[in-house]
């Protein structure tokens, strides 16, 4: 894996599908095998397309969470968002999956908005971050999260409880570990050194508040693994469970390489892109798994798994029967790239328009989703 | 100054009186000269014995504070305490001086209790730190601080406003600066790296809250200079004034070297020592500036300036006329060490008994001294 970089602040654009199992082995996590999928399905009734498509493909101690859950012990979910800009589809996919987990298991979900980190690592003003924070929260909530069990932690709003717990964590984390794991340098600011402690807190916060151990399951992209690997080392030293993880590949990028990026408007589909823009982006920029000509496509068929349009269709089309048929037909050459793109644009536009509708309904209710420590006191 | 160490976490025991002007020059601060003392006296009416005795002997931009004050611009005071154990007389002396400044200038005073730092740097539990915090606050307040203008910031209580401002500071502070200034190592925890940002916040907090620049004057022991030297570098980059400082020598130690230490019960007079214990400690352990024999003392006189008993008498005897006479008589040999020690024990015991009385009155009112951000909003 020489030269491949994948950590919270840097991702090589050359990560290929076949690299993932090797990365996971190197990181010390496990692949989600068919047995574990079956076990999940027994509880959840069906499997989310992100599981069957292996977008969420690896885990740490997911089996332990399920063992505990089957004994009647609740766990909770924790995920997050760094509000560095407006959100695109790639940002939203992990939340779609997290919502599915929450709905299936009926558990609490902490969503950490790391406005402090964005301030520390980016050349961006707090005013801009505040605006992004408000917009991002609304975008996330427009997925329709359970109001009773969804708790948004904006770091700067909850810095009291976060900091007071973060120093427990920070006491166990040396600068040399922070350097080795994150590639921090002496020239980096001391806030960056400390921040990983703030990001670790939600992984044990409910245990800290309740005064008894509650398991935490964290869905995250593989690029965030370093943060939580450290958390798994340190939490037992504080008397808490190691957090469990369900880990995704990098979210599919419009142009097929690396992550979607907020800084390049054509590298991603933004949540506020209108129907025509979506169509144009899919037609013009979407990485295709189809053949170069109509004839070749009819003859050899496409590779749907690397096809952005198909992947979005699979992610967003509610009728998974249709998706299976499209997969078969696209692969066999019965469907051409242009048709796949049209189906995908439609699914994306339907999804975005649903988001926009729910967004309007949710405006004015955002406060009801904000983390309140008193709701967790037994 | 080879080999002399003086920083927040380490103090050589060999600092001698003659080292101080050199240290101050090396640190880039200024001595408080007679002209500045005269100027102070014109405003305050008299000079505190810690100024005339040159215990508070150096400054950074004290003249700038006075310039501003003379134009009708208020400043505020900031000092602190790390609650690592119970307090002794040496801990209380800077607060005595700070109270004098507050009373003379009628200004706000922020007192930061750095419970987070103590947790990060010592092998001590949060429960123990919490107990120390309560005890220390009561000890400090028993000096009789102005309730309207004294604001105690317990870091773990005010971590929201502190952290949110500290990240502004942290963004400008590199790990390499923290290493160079504090001698931090890669093996130190990341909390220690970040902490200096938390300690810097009260130096600009009122400006941040009010949204306009207010000058801050910080009385501190020379061993804390590193913290505030960094603050003076960074605050202007955040649009704030450099904090001003009034700097003391290391507080006189019972046994004459280094600082009084909470860990050695015979190295210090504790605030809960009873009258007999005080007498015994002064007689048995107090570093003396007197001669070895009665005859030599009569003939050559003592050196009151290095004499612990005399220094405490000077610090705590309210009648400074008496102090001047004692100084002359002790120096000339008219007073013997034993007599000086008796006078000193009496003054200390009177002072401690006054503290205990006020402490009883203040119990139940401590909450009224706690920092409340709303009191500073214009």
End of a domain among B255, B273, B297?
A: B255
φ, ψ for residue B35, nearest 5 deg: -65, -45
Q: Which two tokens stand for residue A143?
A: 């997925």
Strands (E) located in chain A: 6-7, 10-11, 30-31, 56-60, 75-81, 108-113, 150-154, 215-221, 244-248
The confidence score (pLDDT) of residue B261 equals 59
Contact A176 B186 (CB under 8 A): yes
Q: Are residues B31 and B180 in the same domain?
A: yes
What is residue A212's three-state secondary structure?
coil
Classify residue A378: in a domain, yes or no: no
Q: Which of A163, A186, A190 sits opposite B159 (nearest CB)?
A: A163
The confidence score (pLDDT) of residue B1 equals 45
Closest B-chain CA to A189: B174
Q: Are residues A90 and A227 in the same domain?
A: yes
Specify burial of residue B14 (Cβ count, 10 A radius: 0-12, 13-18, 19+).
exposed
On chain A, the residues whose CB falls within 8 A of the CB of B227 are none
- Res. A1: pLDDT tops 50: no
On chain A, the residues whose CB falls within 8 A of the CB of B233 are none
Contacts of A152 (CB under 8 A, 6+ apart): A111, A113, A137, A140, A141, A369, A370, A371
The confidence score (pLDDT) of residue A283 equals 94
Classify residue A11: in a domain, yes or no: no
On chain B, the residues whose CB falls within 8 A of the CB of A113 are none
Q: Are residues A134 and A196 in the same domain?
A: yes
Each residue's pLDDT tens digit, A164-178: 999 999 999 999 999
The confidence score (pLDDT) of residue B266 equals 79
Q: Are residues A212 and A66 in the same domain?
A: yes
Predicted complex: ipTM over 0.95: no
The confidence score (pLDDT) of residue A164 equals 98
Q: Are residues A155 and A61 in the same domain?
A: yes
Each residue's pLDDT tens digit, A292-336: 888 998 999 999 988 999 999 999 999 999 999 999 999 999 999
Helix (H) / strand (E) containing A255: none
Classify residue B374: in a domain, yes or no: no
On chain B, the residues whose CB falls within 8 A of the CB of A175 are 175, 184-190, 193
* Structural domains in chain A (count): 2
Q: Are residues B144 and B272 in the same domain?
A: no
Q: Which two tokens stand for residue A77?
A: 């979910």
Classify residue B200: in a domain, yes or no: yes
- The shortest C-alpha distance from B190 to chain A (Å) reads 5
CA torsion through residues B228, B232, B236, B239, sign: positive
The confidence score (pLDDT) of residue B4 equals 61
- Res. A6: pLDDT tops 90: no
On chain A, the residues whose CB falls within 8 A of the CB of B170 are 120, 189-191, 194
Contacts of A3 (CB under 8 A, 6+ apart): A12
The confidence score (pLDDT) of residue B259 equals 55
Give the torsion through C-alpha atoms of B315, B316, B320, B326, to 10 deg: -80
User: Mean pLDDT over all residues of chain A?
Assistant: 92
- The shortest C-alpha distance from A278 to chain B (Å) reads 38
Contact A185 B175 (CB under 8 A): yes
Contact B175 A184 (CB under 8 A): yes
Contacts of A360 (CB under 8 A, 6+ apart): none
Give the torsion through C-alpha atoms of B353, B356, B358, B363, to 10 deg: -170
Chain B interface mutation, best of A190, A197, A198, highest count of B Cβ atoms under 10 Å = A190
Q: Are residues A201 and A295 in the same domain?
A: no
Q: Are residues B29 and B67 in the same domain?
A: yes
Instruction: List the domain range (segments joined by +) for residue A139.
Output: 16-251
Q: Are residues A191 and A85 in the same domain?
A: yes
Q: Are residues A219 and A290 in the same domain?
A: no
CATH number reported for the structural domain that contains residue A303 in this entry: 1.10.240.10
Q: Are residues B170 and B82 in the same domain?
A: yes
End of a domain among A197, A222, A251?
A: A251
> Most distant CA pair in chain A: distance in Å?
66
Classify residue A186: in a domain, yes or no: yes
Contact B190 A194 (CB under 8 A): yes
What is residue A258's three-state secondary structure?
coil
Q: Are residues B241 and B310 in the same domain?
A: no
Q: Which residues of chain B, if any, have pLDDT below 50?
A: 1
On chain A, the residues whose CB falls within 8 A of the CB of B160 are 158-160, 163
- Res. A157: pLDDT tops 90: yes
- Res. A261: pLDDT tops 80: no
CATH number reported for the structural domain that contains residue B65 in this entry: 3.40.50.620
Contact B120 A170 (CB under 8 A): yes
The confidence score (pLDDT) of residue A174 equals 98
Contact B190 A170 (CB under 8 A): yes
Q: Which two tokens stand for residue A296?
A: 């070749």
Contact B190 A167 (CB under 8 A): no
Contact A189 B179 (CB under 8 A): no
DSSP A265: G
A293/A316 Cα distance (integer angstroms): 27
A205, B187 Cβ separation under 8 angstroms = no
Tell me which of A41-45, A256-260, B88-92 is least confident: A256-260
Classify residue B349: in a domain, yes or no: yes
Classify residue A136: in a domain, yes or no: yes
Each residue's pLDDT tens digit, B173-229: 999 999 998 889 999 999 999 999 999 999 999 999 999 999 999 999 998 888 888
The pLDDT of A85-103, averaged and rounded, is 94
Classify residue A315: in a domain, yes or no: yes
């Amino acid at each position: 894996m020489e030269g491949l970089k994948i950590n919270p602040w840097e991702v090589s654009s050359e990560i290929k599908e076949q690299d993932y199992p090797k990365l996971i082995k190197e990181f010390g996590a496990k692949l989600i095998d068919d047995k574990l999928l079956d076990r999940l399905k027994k509880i959840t009734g069906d499997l989310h397309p992100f599981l069957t498509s292996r977008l969420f493909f690896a885990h740490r101690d997911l089996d332990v969470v399920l063992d505990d859950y089957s004994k009647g012990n609740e766990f909770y979910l924790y995920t997050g968002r760094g509000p560095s800009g407006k959100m695109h589809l790639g940002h939203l996919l992990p939340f779609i999956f997290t919502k599915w987990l929450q709905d299936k298991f009926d558990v609490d979900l902490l969503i950490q908005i790391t406005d402090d980190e964005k301030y520390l690592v980016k050349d961006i003003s707090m005013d801009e971050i505040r605006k992004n924070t408000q917009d991002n929260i609304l975008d996330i909530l427009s997925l329709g999260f359970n109001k009773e069990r969804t708790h948004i932690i904006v770091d700067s709003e909850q810095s009291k409880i976060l900091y007071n717990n973060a120093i427990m964590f920070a006491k166990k984390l040396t600068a040399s570990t922070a350097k080795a794991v994150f590639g921090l340098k002496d020239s980096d600011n001391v806030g960056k050194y400390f921040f990983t402690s703030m990001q670790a807190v939600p992984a044990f916060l409910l245990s800290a508040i309740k005064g008894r151990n509650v398991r935490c399951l964290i869905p995250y992209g593989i690029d965030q693994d370093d943060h939580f690997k450290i958390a798994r080392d340190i939490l037992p030293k504080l008397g808490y469970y190691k957090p469990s993880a369900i880990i995704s590949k990098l979210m599919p990028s419009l142009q097929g390489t690396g992550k979607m990026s907020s800084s390049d408007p054509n590298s991603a589909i933004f949540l506020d892109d209108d129907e025509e823009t979506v169509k144009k982006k899919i037609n013009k920029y979407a990485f295709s798994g189809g053949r170069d000509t109509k004839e070749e496509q009819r003859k050899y068929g496409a590779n749907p798994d690397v096809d952005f349009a198909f992947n979005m269709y699979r992610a967003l089309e509610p009728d998974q029967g249709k998706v299976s048929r499209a997969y078969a037909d696209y692969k066999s050459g019965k469907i051409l790239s242009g048709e796949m793109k049209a189906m995908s644009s439609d699914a994306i536009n339907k999804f975005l328009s649903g988001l926009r509708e729910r967004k309007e309904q949710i405006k004015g209710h955002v406060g009801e989703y904000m983390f309140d420590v008193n709701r967790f006191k037994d």
